[in-house]
């Protein structure tokens, strides 16, 4: 599987590099291939799905050799793919569709969660509460039931034999602040502890509230890092916001968050202690759950 979003970004970088190698401006290239300048800009920004004929025309004008041509045409074909999430984008929410795209081709995923528990490890009852509680800025067609179904499909990536390694650092704030009724939260915390013990490719760490990060850096938001099998594909960082999430793809943009994640790892509990904390937090909710 591939991430069409990431392959569009890779194609964009390849086209810019080729254009610059041959001394073409965007305007000159558009004129040479007889395409609107806006279309060339969109391809270079990774904002549109490419067509084979337009990429072939660009490669013809730039006199690209056969081997490199085949590589770029292959990237373009991947960039044009439509994943299962495209059909239900509005119903499941564009934010979740974006993450499904990034997860599809990832070799490794590393996440930091500040106020909520990780979606790829949520139980259906917890997901349903969150889908109905935080509608945020969503399309009118958003359907909590469809969002719940989409989350279940996304979670299957962790079951695949060729699926990504998955590490998540959960801020203790996300564990202690109620985001669902006590019984649901307790079941969710126990599920996290179980997944951390049973899944070989899943690593869970907890960042205790009193923990100080090296340099006294304080994370401002949740963020998610995706790395891919092809080393030339960009490392992607998605930063959680109240509106449309911020997606970063250049080393200059992602470097801060890669460094921040390393600091979070240093300050977080080891996996065994983290799972013990999750189980203890679940037990703290036993009385509340029993009184429902």
106-165 tens-digit pLDDT: 999 999 999 999 999 999 999 999 888 866 667 778 888 888 999 999 999 999 989 999
First to last CA, the chain: 44
Specify the pLDDT at position 273.
98
Specify the pLDDT at position 288.
57
CA distances from 2 to 14, 29, 69, 244 (A): 17, 29, 20, 23
Specify the pLDDT at position 137.
63
Give strand pairing partners of 166: 109, 202
Answer whether 38's CB lies under 8 Å from 29's CB: no
Q: Return the beta strands (E) in the chain as ranges.
A: 108-113, 165-171, 202-207, 223-227, 236-239, 246-248
Answer whether 225's CB lies under 8 Å from 235's CB: yes
Task: Give the relative orientation of helices 52-61 and 37-45 as an angle to the nearest 10 degrees.
Answer: 100
Interatomic CA distance for residues 16 and 210, integer angstroms = 46
Record the pTM. 0.91
Give strand pairing partners of 224: 111, 238
Answer whether 11's CB lies under 8 Å from 46's CB: yes
- Over residues 269-290, the pLDDT tens digits come to 999 999 999 999 999 987 655 4
Full pLDDT tens readout for the chain, 292 residues: 799 999 999 999 999 999 999 999 999 999 999 999 999 999 999 989 999 999 999 999 999 999 999 999 999 999 999 999 998 888 998 889 999 999 999 999 999 999 999 999 999 999 999 888 866 667 778 888 888 999 999 999 999 989 999 999 999 999 999 999 999 999 999 999 999 999 999 999 999 999 999 999 999 999 999 999 999 999 999 998 876 779 999 999 999 999 999 999 999 999 999 999 999 999 998 765 544 4
Interatomic CA distance for residues 243 and 98, integer angstroms = 13
CA distances from 222 to 4, 16, 116, 181, 289 (A): 23, 31, 9, 23, 28
Residues 6+ apart with CB under 8 A from 9: 46, 233, 234, 236, 249
Interatomic CA distance for residues 48 and 205, integer angstroms = 37
Answer whether 116's CB lies under 8 Å from 178's CB: no
Q: Give me the phi and psi of 206, to 5 degrees please.
A: -115, 135
Cα 204 versus chain centre, distance: 17
Specify the pLDDT at position 252.
92
**Exposed / middle / buried, residue 232 (Cβ in 10 Å: 0-12, 13-18, 19+):** exposed
> Which DSSP helix (H) or strand (E) runs through 29?
helix 26-33
Specify the pLDDT at position 291.
46
Specify the pLDDT at position 292.
47
CA distances from 225 to 245, 246, 250, 255 (A): 13, 12, 12, 11
């Amino acid at each position: 599987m591939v991430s069409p979003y990431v392959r569009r970004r890779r194609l964009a970088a390849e086209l810019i590099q080729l254009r610059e190698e041959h001394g073409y401006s965007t305007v000159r290239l558009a004129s040479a291939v007889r395409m609107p300048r806006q279309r060339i800009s969109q391809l270079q920004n990774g904002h549109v799905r490419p067509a084979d004929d337009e990429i072939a025309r660009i490669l013809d004008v730039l006199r690209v050799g056969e081997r490199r041509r085949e590589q770029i045409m292959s990237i373009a074909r991947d960039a044009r793919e439509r994943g299962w999430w495209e059909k239900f984008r509005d119903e499941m929410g564009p934010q979740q569709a974006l993450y499904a795209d990034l997860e599809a081709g990832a070799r490794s995923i590393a996440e930091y969660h500040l106020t909520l528990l990780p979606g790829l490890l949520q139980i259906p009852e917890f997901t349903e509460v969150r889908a109905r509680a935080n509608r945020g800025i969503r399309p009118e067609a958003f359907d909590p039931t469809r969002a719940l179904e989409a989350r279940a499909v996304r979670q299957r990536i962790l079951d695949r034999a060729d699926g990504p390694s998955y590490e998540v650092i959960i801020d203790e704030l996300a564990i202690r602040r109620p985001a669902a009724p006590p019984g649901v939260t307790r079941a969710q915390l126990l599920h996290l502890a179980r997944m951390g013990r049973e899944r070989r490719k899943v690593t869970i760490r907890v960042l205790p509230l009193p923990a100080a990060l090296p340099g006294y850096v304080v994370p401002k938001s949740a963020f998610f890092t995706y790395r891919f099998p092809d080393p030339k594909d960009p490392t992607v960082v998605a930063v959680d916001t109240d509106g449309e999430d911020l997606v970063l793809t250049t080393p200059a943009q992602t470097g801060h968050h890669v460094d921040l994640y390393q600091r979070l790892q240093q300050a977080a509990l080891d996996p065994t202690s983290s799972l013990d904390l999750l189980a203890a937090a679940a037990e703290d909710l036993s009385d509340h759950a029993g009184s429902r």
